[in-house]
A and B are shown apart, each in its own frame.
Chain A
Amino acid sequence: MDHDDATCLAAWRRGDTEALGALVEKYRRPLFGYLVRFANDPHQADEWFQETWVRAIQHMNLFRQRNFQGWLFRIAHNLVVDHLRRKKPEVSLDAPATEEGAPWKARLADPALSPALAAAGRDLGRQIEAAANRLPPEQREVFWLRMAADLPFKEIARVQRVSINTALARMQYALDKLRADLGPAYRELQEMTP
């Protein structure tokens, strides 16, 4: 376990509430950054953020010497999975929309190619966010755990309970889809590197 995390947890167990505050602050950005990408709105992400901590602390005896970061994100992952299981789409995008059988997605403008998104081409980050949110859940999670929470693949693999090779492969599938979805805009990324 991270030395700072272990120190804070030991202090919290002795009744030091400031130690808990320090831990919450440390994981504020990565944990919320991950949760907000799966929540319906920031309020729900905030609710999950608090719930993750409550569950982590209530079951603190279960992880002992294991990695606290992994433990925390595993709990957050469970919240997200529960949410995704409950949130079943009312209409599948692949379901036939008409008697002729044309699927809904064929009748909707491709967001990646819409004039609105083309106009928002300056804001590449928003396009990436939108495209990432169209990824299958397991790839989307790897993408955001890596890009928003800055978790290493070893840790992502633990959170998803898969091998590190599977986590890496999911990231590669996600990148392939982003490239295909964003087209030329994706290649602009090269220019963003100093």
Chain B
Amino acid sequence: MNPKDLEQLLLLEQSGELTPQQQRRLEAGLAAAPAARQLRRELQGLARAIPEPSTGPAPDATEKILARLAANRPAPAHNWFPTLAAAAALALLLGSYALHSSRSLDAGTGRAQATQSAMLDADEWTDPLEQEFADLENLFRVMAEQPLFDLADL
């Protein structure tokens, strides 16, 4: 076995990675070459000679890591459910209103005007949901006052 192969086996021995087959080859190599035993002592000495770093990580490293993780945490994803629910309610409301308006065109009543008046009451400061409820309430009130069709027409 050449010295380089033997040195590789010694390195693997030191790191605890020798397979049983490599172990047998190393033992045979060490028996055959006294210089290999010298090399082994050098490698063992090298591991002992290297000093520990004079410093280490900050004693509160874990706390600092946790703080950095908290600082880097992405903002929670926006919850679109309330917005979508409000949009759906509004669409339903407007759809109902449109249906109602089309059916009541002939009635010549003030229902449309009343609803429009309610809509015009809304401004940017009005809570959207509150406004929707107000509009809905107004719509029901108008519908109650003015039936969609006259029983006499049937």
A binding-site residues for B, Cβ under 8 Å: 17, 20-21, 24-25, 28-29, 32-33, 36, 42, 45-46, 49-51, 53-54, 57-58, 124-126, 128-129, 146-148, 151-154, 168, 171-172, 175, 178, 186-193
Contact A193 to B65, CB < 8 A, known contacts A54-B72, A126-B51, A171-B11: no
Set B12, B42, B62, B69: member contacting A190, Cβ < 8 A: B42
Question: What number of B residues sit within 8 Å (CB to CB) of A?
Answer: 35
Set B8, B41, B49, B65: member contacting A53, Cβ < 8 A: B65
Interface of chain B residues 105 through 135 with chain A (CB within 8 A): none
The answer to whether B49 touches A125 (Cβ under 8 A) is yes
Q: What is the minimal beta-carbon distance from A56 to any residue of chain B, in angstroms?
A: 10
Please, what's the 1-or-0 string for B24-65, where 1 marks a CB less than 8 Å from any CB in chain A? 000000000000001001111111111111111110011011
Q: What is the minimal beta-carbon distance from A174 to any residue of chain B, in angstroms?
A: 10
Please, what's the 1-or-0 string for B52-89, where 1 marks a CB less than 8 Å from any CB in chain A? 11111110011011101100100000000000000000
The answer to whether A54 touches B69 (Cβ under 8 A) is yes
In terms of DSSP, what is the predominant structure of the interface of chain A?
helix
Contact A24 to B16, CB < 8 A, known contacts A54-B72, A189-B49: no
Q: What is the minimal beta-carbon distance from A59 to any residue of chain B, in angstroms?
A: 12
The answer to whether B16 touches A28 (Cβ under 8 A) is no
The answer to whether B66 touches A190 (Cβ under 8 A) is no
Residue B21 at the A interface, CB < 8 A?
Answer: no
The answer to whether A125 touches B51 (Cβ under 8 A) is yes
The answer to whether B42 touches A17 (Cβ under 8 A) is no
Q: What is the minimal beta-carbon distance from B19 to any residue of chain A, in angstroms?
A: 12
The answer to whether B4 touches A50 (Cβ under 8 A) is no
Contact A46 to B61, CB < 8 A, known contacts A124-B49, A147-B47, A190-B38: yes
B binding-site residues for A, Cβ under 8 Å: 4, 7-8, 11-12, 15-17, 38, 41-58, 61-62, 64-66, 68-69, 72
Complex CA gap A172/B58 in Å reads 34
The answer to whether B4 touches A172 (Cβ under 8 A) is yes
Q: What is the minimal beta-carbon distance from A38 to any residue of chain B, in angstroms?
A: 12
**Residues in chain A near residue B72, CB distance under 8 A:** 54, 58
The answer to whether A153 touches B15 (Cβ under 8 A) is yes
Set A49, A126, A168: member contacting B57, Cβ < 8 A: A49
Contact A57 to B61, CB < 8 A, known contacts A128-B46, A168-B8, A189-B45: no
Complex CA gap A36/B51 in Å reads 12
Given A20-B66, A171-B11, A192-B48, list of 11 further CB < 8 A pairs?
A24-B65, A28-B56, A36-B55, A46-B61, A53-B61, A128-B50, A146-B11, A147-B46, A152-B15, A192-B45, A193-B41
The answer to whether A42 touches B44 (Cβ under 8 A) is no
CB-CB nearest in chain B for A126: B51
Q: What is the minimal beta-carbon distance from B61 to any residue of chain A, in angstroms?
A: 6
Complex CA gap A172/B42 in Å reads 13
Contact A153 to B11, CB < 8 A, known contacts A24-B65, A50-B61, A147-B47: yes
The answer to whether B65 touches A54 (Cβ under 8 A) is yes
29 interchain pairs (CB within 8 A)?
A17-B66, A20-B65, A32-B57, A42-B54, A49-B61, A50-B65, A50-B68, A51-B68, A54-B65, A54-B69, A54-B72, A57-B69, A58-B72, A124-B49, A125-B51, A128-B46, A146-B15, A147-B47, A147-B50, A148-B50, A152-B15, A152-B17, A153-B11, A168-B11, A172-B7, A188-B45, A189-B42, A190-B45, A192-B44
